[in-house]
Structure 1
Amino acid sequence: SLWNTRVMNSLVVLVACLAAASASYAGYGWAGAHYGYAPYAYAGHGWYGGHGGYHGPLAAPVVLPSGYLADTPEVAAAKGAHLNAVANAAHRNRGRRLQRKHRYGGQR
């Protein structure tokens, strides 16, 4: 039976080597990366049909002297609203810690 095991192991290694040697890159299918097996007519521009279709202006980020990006007015307003909500919650809590009855991993 040891002989049969060696033969089967050798056969498995041989088949794996043949599969690896004959493997190749599959490409994008028929029509491109995002279209599966749709015909080429639906692929969009050229071979790779996965364009996003965004036609707006390019972003012009403001970089601070420290190297970080400056917040837009919308982001600054959202941060202010969030910090205000955090301050209100802390005031309502009056410095007490939250009492959790259940923690991760069971009861305490």
Structure 2
Amino acid sequence: MLQTELLDAEKLQDLHEEKLFYAEVKENHKQRKNTIARWEDFVKRTSNHSHLVSCKNQQQKSIDSSKTKPRQADVHKKLGSTYHGTVSKALNTTTFQGRNITVESTPAELTGKHASLLG
């Protein structure tokens, strides 16, 4: 009797571990699909300007909808002091820009030009 209980417990443990394994495989597959979809969207934004503009407009709508709305009495008083623009005028990207930008370019050996370092 004790032996059958141990065997049943072992079967349940094996079944539980198998479920965890398949859940991990499923999650990895889902993450891989999401990564591919994000990459395809990035390529589409960089190669299709109208898609870039629509993504930029959608991003602006999301930003605007996430901002807190002032109460009716405070509209005139607070609006000028709390408004901060989120878009640079000549910006043509749909990612948030940081202080540091990495520029990848063709190596100087391939172009025949010598790169100069900025001090």
Q: Same fold (TM over 0.5)?
A: no
Higher Cα Rg, which structure: 1
Structure 1 length as normaliser, TM-score? Answer: 0.28
Select the structure with the greater relative contact order (CA < 8 A; seq sep ≥ 6): 2
